[in-house]
Amino acid sequence: MPAEAIDPLRLIPAWRRNDAGMIKAAIDFWTKSDALPPGVTPERRAQELCALAYVRNEVVGVSTIELGYLPTLPCRLGFFRCLVSPAHPHRRIARRLTIYSRELLERWSKDNPKEKILGMAAVLENPNFDLLATWPIWRAANLLLIGYNAKGQQIRLSWFDHARIERVGRPQTAQT
């Protein structure tokens, strides 16, 4: 029996592909879900598109990566977001998109060392993750709890295997 017959979920890479069909599918999904915050346009968010999740021909999840910095870390990171259709609650789509997106970003980061992306971060905004929030390490995606933001939301970080922190900002040892 083909795997699609058991679980028809397909994850499709979209990171830095600028594919018009994927962009349109993601924009339609965000618009239908009415999930983007005020002031964020679907076109702007589509520039950060990382992966799409499909069941048959229906988009059931979208992930994005925004490149940036945490104020407490001297390195560039990819900030992960995802939105999953509530019509598919038992497929673990968010978990699967998280793992898949991390793999895509790590591979891209390794292939593009000048970008200096050293890991993937996420802010836990969804209150439905209360049980997961009690675990300091999410082993499947290697996301470690590293603190909380001003809203009390967890900040999680997964370092890439090739990540190396530059000495900038570290105290120098005194020479005698």
The domain ranges of the chain are 3-159
The total number of residues shown for the chain amounts to 176
Task: Judge whether 78 and 66 are in contact, CB under 8 Å.
Answer: yes
Integer CA distances (angstroms), 144 to 3, 117, 119, 137, 149, in order: 31, 17, 11, 5, 15
* Per-residue pLDDT reduced to its tens digit, 46-83: 999 999 999 999 999 999 999 999 988 889 999 999 99
The predicted structure's pLDDT at residue 176: 35
| Tens-digit pLDDT profile for residues 12-28 | 999 999 999 999 999 99
To the question of pTM greater than 0.85 for the whole model, the response is: yes
* Burial of 66 (C-beta count, 10 Å sphere; 0-12/13-18/19+): middle
For the domain made up of 3-159, the CATH class stated in words is alpha beta
